[in-house]
A and B are shown apart, each in its own frame.
Chain A
Amino acid sequence: MKSEEFIDIIGDIEEEYLLKAHEERKIKKVIPMKKVFALTAVLIILGATAIAVVASGMEAEYKQSYDVSLINGFGREMEGKGYTIELDLLPVSIESLNIKPDEDDRPWETECFYRTSEAVDYIGCEKIETPDLGLHCGVNWVVIEKEDHINPNYAVITSNHQGDGIKFTTKTHIIIGEETGKSVVYEDSFEAGGLNGKDIVYTSEYFTNANGINYLVVKSSVVEDYHVEIYGKDEFEKVIYINAYLVKNGIAYTFSAEEKTVYHESDPEITKLYEEKIYKPENNAKIEKYLKLWADSF
């Protein structure tokens, strides 16, 4: 068969698929992010080793809309603030987390080739109330593809790690996206474990779960409104992109958009809460416990 004939055959594929692609073509062309009022948070793992994150959001014109209420990292509804974000979010129970590898791909590709939009399909999301702190907890993770999936609008992080026979590259680079309402683009770069300039990401850790899957875990502290995404070099099997404010019984309340997450605005009050609540060792321990459970579920 000639390729032209095959292209003709493709012309008759299922309308359902065509329609979906048509919608994607319509929607995604207008993706320009108008505003990014982002944000962030933190986390931990492996004892004193923390993790992290970043969060961010943007206004409409983006993906499908889901009927979810936006709750910031401290449990405050964002209603009434004009935040219209369209989340690419599928709630599922954490227990159902299950990445099915593409058999054809190399092992690391298997994990890497899931883009964030696909990754959110696997996000655990069950609401828990945490009246003691007035918080919802959240854990987001993003499985990042190879370098060629870099979105120049977002952050880039590669790390320096050697372990389990896999040597990672050394450079870490981060591009911070638009600042809310100002369309300012910051750039910064740092070596893993350190940051030159803005205090955005200050450490990254690497670990292997019980099933032998390797993760890059990045600890981040973002106190301004930034829009940041982390992605891995091709050596990375997986980059975890996490917001976790509290964990209870291995269940988290999660919000995630494709490559973005909205939690809260950065303001002095939140920063204070952040400092007072998030870094409590007992919280870290809970998060660590949860994170292990979660990571081992893969």
Chain B
Amino acid sequence: MEDSKIIELYFERSEQAIPETAKKYGAYCKTVAKNILGSEEDAEECLNDTYFAAWNSIPPAVPEKLVLFLGKITRNLSLNRYRKDKTEKRGGKETSAVFEEMEEVVSGNDDIEKNFERREVLSAVNEFLGTLPEEKRSIFICRYWYFDSIEDIAKRFGRKESGIYSELERTRKKLRKYLSERGYEI
């Protein structure tokens, strides 16, 4: 079913919206959730939460790209759950790795004076991503947005895992430099 039809179902408050969403984007959302949470069971629960959140959001929201809309919900819910789980010593190993990797980019400093407006940093990150060749950008996003494992990324892009590691490392360094040069010592 086309996205516009699925969204119509939400607007009509038709419960059919959920199975149609699940049919088309269930696997996608579940992958995102599982990447972050590392557990099939947790991912499944998160998936249900995603449907519920979508149901509560549409309307009024009218997603331009339903796949991204759902992906973002799943990602946010999964990360929230991961944080909760972390205190209970649970959570996906990829997520821990991703956070560790990103420590190369951020200072880890909570000094309020050094905290910039989120939107400013986001804007700079977007600018930076715009400077990357398409594939490098996609690899970065696969890792830091989708939390894909290095192994999966390497397979997708026909590369060696070590190659993906080193490329991500270079990209992180560049990102840090890019932000730093613009005054964002985050």
Contacts and interface: CB of A to CB of B under 8 A. Distances in A.
A145 B108 CA distance: 33
A11 B163 contact: no
Chain B interface, >50% SS class = helix
B102 A6 contact: yes
Contact of A21 (B103, B146, B159, B167): B146
Contacts of B170: 104-105, 113
A3 interface: yes
A117 B129 contact: no
Nearest to B135: A117
Contact of B138 (A9, A21, A152, A153): A21
Size bracket, chain B contacts = 35 or more
Contacts of A25: 138, 142, 146, 148, 156
Given A9-B122, A105-B170, A150-B160, A3 B108 contact: yes
Interface in A98-121: 102, 104-105, 113-115, 117-118
A104 B175 CA distance: 11
Given A3-B108, A11-B76, A19 B135 contact: no
Contacts of A118: 133-135
A31 interface: yes
Contacts of B103: 3
Contacts of A208: none
Nearest to B104: A3
Given A7-B79, A11-B72, A24-B138, A104 B122 contact: no
B68 A18 contact: yes
Contacts of A153: 158
B141 interface: yes
Most chain B Cβ neighbours within 10 Å, of A17, A105, A151, A259: A17
Given A6-B106, A24-B142, A13 B156 contact: no
Interface in A73-127: 102, 104-105, 113-115, 117-118
A28 B159 CA distance: 11
A252 B99 CA distance: 48
B158 A19 contact: no
A29 interface: yes
B145 A20 contact: no
8 contacts: A3-B100, A4-B99, A11-B72, A12-B72, A17-B137, A20-B138, A105-B170, A150-B163
Closest 7 CB pairs of A and B: A3-B102, A148-B163, A21-B141, A28-B156, A21-B138, A148-B162, A1-B186
